[in-house]
Chains A and B, each alone.
Chain A
Amino acid sequence: MQDLLYFSQQLINGLTIGSAYALIAIGYTMVYGIIGMINFAHGEIYMIGAYTALIAITGLATLGIAWLPAVLIVALICAMIVSSAMGWAVERTAYRPVRGRHRLIPLISAIGMSIFLQNYVHLAQGSRNIGFPALVEGGLQFGSGEGFQMSLSYMQITIFITTVICMTALSLFISRSRIGRACRAVSQDLGMANLLGIDTNRIISATFVIGAALAAVAGLLLGMYYGSVDPLFGFIAGLKAFTAAVLGGIGSIPGAMLGGLILGVAESLTSGYLSGEYKDVVSFGLLILILLFKPTGLLGKPEVEKI
C-alpha cells in the first residue's frame, strides 16, 4: 500500500509537470510542422511569459487587488499578450528573413535570438531568481496518518484543468476555425496553400502567436508550481519540451501532448526512485534514444526526403 501510494504520488507529480511540458511542446511542434525549423527561442518566450505573469501579479498586489480568480486571469491575459507579441516579433525579425535558406541558417539565427532574449530579461530584471507567490494553496491528502501520505495539491489540479482547457480549445481551433484549417493546409503543402490563396505569411505568424500564448500559460502555471523564476528558467524547460515534441512525433499535436506526459512521468519516477539530480540526464538520454530508434516519434509520420 505504501509503495503504491508513493508510486501514485510520483505519477501525479509527473503528470503535472508533463502537462505543462505538453503546453510548451505544442509551440515547437506546430512551428516544426509548418516551416520545418526548430524555434530555439521558444523556451525564452515561455520564460518571458512567466516573468510577465509575475509582474502582473505583483502589480495587482501593489494595487490591493487580491481576489484570486481576477488575479490569475489578469496575469494570464497579460502573459499571453506579451508572449504572443514576442513570438510574433521574433518570427518577423529573426526567422522570416532567413526562411527557405540552408537548414543551418535559421537554426543559428534562432540560437542567437534565444541568447538575446535570455540576456534581455537578465539585464532588465537581474540574474537572481525571484520568488513567485504561491497563489493556489492547500490540497487533498490521501493515506493513513502513519507512513507516507500522498498529496494532490490544488495547484496541481489547477495545472491539469488549465491544460485540458487549453488543449481542447486548441484542438477545436485547429479542426474547426478558418485559420486552423489554413494552418493544416500550410503544414501539408506550403506552396500549394499559397497558390490557393492562403496568406501563408500570416498563417506562419499565427502559428508562432498560438505557440507563444500556450507557452505563456505554461509559464504562469510552472512559475507558480516551482515558486521562482530566473532568466535561465526557459532554457532547460524549452529543451525538455522539445524532447517531448520529438518523443510524440514532431509536427503532430496529439503527439506533443502524449510526449509531454510521458516525459513528465519518466522524469518524476527518476527523481522519486533514483535521484533528483539525474532527471535531466534521463530526459536527454531518452531524447537520444528516441532519435536513434524511432526518429519519427510515437505518433509522427515518416518524413520522405524529396529530391
Chain B
Amino acid sequence: MVAQNFGHALFCAMITLIISFPILGFNLEAQGINVTLTGAKTTTIIGVVLASIIVFGFQLFRDAIMGALGTLPRFNPLAGREPMEPSRRVKLESRIITVLVVLFLFWPFMVSRGSVDLATLVLIYIMLALGLNVVVGLAGLLDLGYEAFYAVGAYTFALLSRYFDISFWLALPIGALLAALFGLVLGFPVLRLRGDYLAIVTLGFGEIIRILLNNWTNVTGGPNGIGGIPDPTLFGMEFGRRVKEEGNTSFHETFGIAYSGEHKVIFLYLIALVLAVITAMVIRRLMRMPVGRAWEALREDEIAARSLGLSRTAVKLSAFTIGAFFAGFAGTVFASKQGFISPESFVFLESAIILAIVVLGGMGSQLGVILAAIAVTILPELAREFSEYRMLIFGAAMVLMMVWRPQGLLPMRRIHIKLNRLE
C-alpha cells in the first residue's frame, strides 16, 4: 500500500515545493526602476520545506490516515437528527432573532464609540448578505457584481444630497428603488443565461459601474469620490454641534442634554439596526410566500419548475431585483455612515466578501447568514495582526466549505423524504 503511494507522494511533494518555493522563497524588491531579488527569511524556507514533507507524509500514508479518520466518532452529535418541524423551527429561529435584536438594541449604550461604529458596519453587511442570500442562496443565481447595486444606492444618496439637497430619509427609498431598477434592467436580458455565464456577466457589470464612477469625473468626482454627505436627522433634529440647515433643531438642545459625538454614532447604529430588521423580516415573509417557494423550486430543478408552469424569467427577475433593492438600502446607510464615498469602496473584493458570508452561513439560511456576517466582520478586527491574512483565509474557507460542507455551517433544512432505490 505504502509502496504503491510512494511515487504519487513524491510527486505531490515536488509540486508543493514548485508552487511555493519560487513565490515564497524569493522577494522581488523594486528600487527605483531596478528590481532586485533577495532570499526570504530562513523561517519561510523552512516552512516551505516542512509543508512539502507534510504533504509527502500525508500522501504516503493517505489510506491509513483517511481510514483512521473514518473510524473516529462523529464530532457533530446533531448530524444524524431529523430536521426540526417547520413550525417549531420557525418559532425557534424567531426567538433567537428576537433575542439578538434586543441585545443589539441595548448594546451600544454600554460600549465604546469604536465598537458601535463597527457594529453599524456589521449591520450593513448583514443587510447586504441577506439581500445576496435571496439571489444566491434562494434563487441559485450567482451574482458577482452585487457591489454595483450597493454602489448605486450609495451614489444615489451622495449625488441627490449634493445636487438637490435631498435628506437621508427621502434618499433611502429612492436609492433602493433605483438599485432595484438597475437590477431589473440588467436582469431582464441576462437572466436567460445559464448560471456560470450569469456570474461572469454580473462581474463585468460590476466592473463597468465602477469604471463609469471612476471616469465620469464631473458628476461623480471620479476617484476623489464625494464628501460631505449629510447625516440622517430624527424628525428634523440634527446630531451635529451646530444646526446646518434652516428650520432644523439640534438633538442635544431639544432634549437639554450636553452635546456628545456619540449620539450620532448610536443613532446611525439604531437606523442600521431597524433597517436590518426590516430587511430580515421582509425577506422572511417573501421566503414563505409563493414567490419564495418558486425561487427555491427553480434553484432545485429548473426544468421541473418550468414544466409546472413557473415563468423562469419572472421568478429569477424578482429575486434579482429584490436582492438589488436591499443592496441599495445598505448602500444608502453606508454613504451616510461614512460621509464620504469613492469607487474604492465598491470593488469586486466587496462582492467576494459578501458572497463568502452567504456561503459560510449556509445558502438560504437567514440565521446562518446573519451569524456569518457578524463573524466575518468582527473576527478580523479582533485578530488585527492577522488582518492581512483575511482575504487569504476567506478564499481558502470558500474552497474548503465547497469541498466539505457546501450547504454552509448552519444550513437550511427541511423535512424531506428520501427515496431509496430498490436493489
Name A residues whose Cβ lies closer than 8 Å to a Cβ of B: 37-38, 48, 51-52, 54-56, 58-59, 62, 78, 81-82, 85-86, 88-89, 93-94, 97-98, 101-109, 111-126, 128, 130-133, 235-236, 239, 242-243, 246, 275, 277-278, 280-281, 284-285, 287-288, 291-292, 295, 305, 307
Q: Which residues of B contact A55 (CB under 8 A)?
A: 22-23, 26, 28, 37
* Interface-located stretch among B153-161, B313-321, B328-336, B393-401: B393-401
Please report the C-alpha to C-alpha distance between residue A4 and residue B51 in the assembled complex, in whole angstroms: 58
Q: Which residues of B contact A54 (CB under 8 A)?
A: 28, 35
Q: Which residues of A contact B208 (CB under 8 A)?
A: 280-281, 284-285
Given contacts A107-B195, A277-B211, A280-B207, contact A88 B15 (CB under 8 A): yes
* Interface-located stretch among B86-94, B197-205, B284-292, B413-421: B197-205
Which of B16, B19, B34 is the most central at the interface, judged by chain A CB atoms within 10 Å of its CB?
Answer: B19
- Check A120–B28 contact: CB distance below 8 A: no
Please report the C-alpha to C-alpha distance between residue A105 and residue B16 in the assembled complex, in whole angstroms: 25
- Check A277–B18 contact: CB distance below 8 A: no
Q: Which residues of A contact B30 (CB under 8 A)?
A: 128, 130-131
- Check A120–B204 contact: CB distance below 8 A: no
- Check B211–A78 contact: CB distance below 8 A: no
Q: Which residues of A contact B399 (CB under 8 A)?
A: 93-94, 109, 112-113, 116
Please report the C-alpha to C-alpha distance between residue A98 and residue B359 in the assembled complex, in whole angstroms: 15
> B34 — nearest CB in chain A belongs to which residue?
A131
Some 17 contacts from A to B, beta carbons below 8 A apart, are A38-B199, A58-B35, A89-B15, A89-B16, A94-B402, A98-B406, A102-B406, A104-B195, A105-B402, A105-B406, A107-B195, A109-B399, A111-B352, A115-B394, A125-B28, A277-B215, A284-B208
Please report the C-alpha to C-alpha distance between residue A128 and residue B194 in the assembled complex, in whole angstroms: 37
Given contacts A277-B215, A287-B204, contact A112 B37 (CB under 8 A): no
> A83 — nearest CB in chain B belongs to which residue?
B19
Q: Which residues of A contact B201 (CB under 8 A)?
A: 287-288, 291
Q: Which residues of B contact A97 (CB under 8 A)?
A: 403
Q: Which residues of A contact B4 (CB under 8 A)?
A: none
Q: Which residues of B contact A56 (CB under 8 A)?
A: 22
Quote the shortest CB–CB distance from B192 to chain A (angstroms). 8
Quote the shortest CB–CB distance from A174 to chain B (angstroms). 24
Q: Which of B26, B211, B398 contacts A111 (CB 8 A)?
A: B398
Quote the shortest CB–CB distance from A42 to chain B (angstroms). 12
Q: Which residues of B contact A108 (CB under 8 A)?
A: 142, 355, 359, 398, 402
Please report the C-alpha to C-alpha distance between residue A176 and residue B26 in the assembled complex, in whole angstroms: 39
Quote the shortest CB–CB distance from B351 to chain A (angstroms). 10
Please report the C-alpha to C-alpha distance between residue A117 and residue B189 in the assembled complex, in whole angstroms: 33
Tell me if A's interface is mostly helix, strand, loop or mixed: helix
Please report the C-alpha to C-alpha distance between residue A5 and residue B18 in the assembled complex, in whole angstroms: 46
User: Mask for B169-206, Cβ within 8 A of A = 1, else 0?
Assistant: 00000000000000000000110111111011101110
Please report the C-alpha to C-alpha distance between residue A264 and residue B118 in the assembled complex, in whole angstroms: 44
Name B residues whose Cβ lies closer than 8 Å to a Cβ of A: 14-16, 18-19, 22-24, 26-28, 30, 33-37, 136, 140, 142, 144, 189-190, 192-197, 199-201, 203-205, 207-208, 211-212, 214-215, 303, 348, 352, 355-356, 359, 388-389, 391-392, 394-399, 401-403, 406
A-B CB proximity, top 8 nearest: A112-B398, A116-B395, A115-B395, A284-B204, A109-B402, A119-B392, A85-B18, A112-B399
Q: Which of A103, A116, A131, A284 contacts B35 (CB 8 A)?
A: A131
Q: Which residues of B contact A115 (CB under 8 A)?
A: 352, 391-392, 394-395, 398
Quote the shortest CB–CB distance from B326 to chain A (angstroms). 20
- Check B27–A107 contact: CB distance below 8 A: no
- Check A94–B403 contact: CB distance below 8 A: yes
Q: Which residues of B contact A103 (CB under 8 A)?
A: 194-196
- Check A111–B204 contact: CB distance below 8 A: no
Q: Which residues of A contact B136 (CB under 8 A)?
A: 104
Quote the shortest CB–CB distance from A280 to chain B (angstroms). 6
- Check B18–A82 contact: CB distance below 8 A: yes
- Check A104–B211 contact: CB distance below 8 A: no
> A115 — nearest CB in chain B belongs to which residue?
B395
Please report the C-alpha to C-alpha distance between residue A84 and residue B212 in the assembled complex, in whole angstroms: 36
Please report the C-alpha to C-alpha distance between residue A262 and residue B20 in the assembled complex, in whole angstroms: 36
- Check B200–A82 contact: CB distance below 8 A: no
Please report the C-alpha to C-alpha distance between residue A243 and residue B201 in the assembled complex, in whole angstroms: 9
Please report the C-alpha to C-alpha distance between residue A51 and residue B207 in the assembled complex, in whole angstroms: 25
Q: Which residues of B contact A288 (CB under 8 A)?
A: 189-190, 201, 204-205
Q: Which of A52, A101, A239 contacts B207 (CB 8 A)?
A: A239
> B26 — nearest CB in chain A belongs to which residue?
A55
- A105-B402, A124-B27, A288-B190 known; 18 new pairs, CB 8 Å cut-off, are A51-B22, A52-B23, A54-B28, A82-B18, A94-B399, A98-B403, A107-B195, A111-B355, A112-B394, A112-B396, A112-B398, A112-B402, A119-B395, A131-B33, A246-B197, A280-B208, A291-B190, A291-B197
Given contacts A85-B19, A89-B15, A98-B402, contact A107 B196 (CB under 8 A): yes
Please report the C-alpha to C-alpha distance between residue A281 and residue B206 in the assembled complex, in whole angstroms: 10
Q: Which of A117, A242, A292 contacts B200 (CB 8 A)?
A: A242
Q: Which residues of A contact B402 (CB under 8 A)?
A: 94, 98, 105-106, 108-109, 112
Q: Which residues of B contact A52 (CB under 8 A)?
A: 22-23
> B303 — nearest CB in chain A belongs to which residue?
A307
Please report the C-alpha to C-alpha distance between residue A96 and residue B375 in the assembled complex, in whole angstroms: 29
Q: Which residues of B contact A278 (CB under 8 A)?
A: 211, 215
Q: Which of B200, B356, B389 contacts A38 (CB 8 A)?
A: B200
Please report the C-alpha to C-alpha distance between residue A258 and residue B395 in the assembled complex, in whole angstroms: 33
Quote the shortest CB–CB distance from B14 to chain A (angstroms). 8
- Check A86–B398 contact: CB distance below 8 A: no
Q: Which residues of B contact A93 (CB under 8 A)?
A: 399
- Check A124–B212 contact: CB distance below 8 A: no
Q: Which of A37, A62, A120, A277 contacts B23 (CB 8 A)?
A: A120
Please report the C-alpha to C-alpha distance between residue A28 and residue B16 in the assembled complex, in whole angstroms: 24
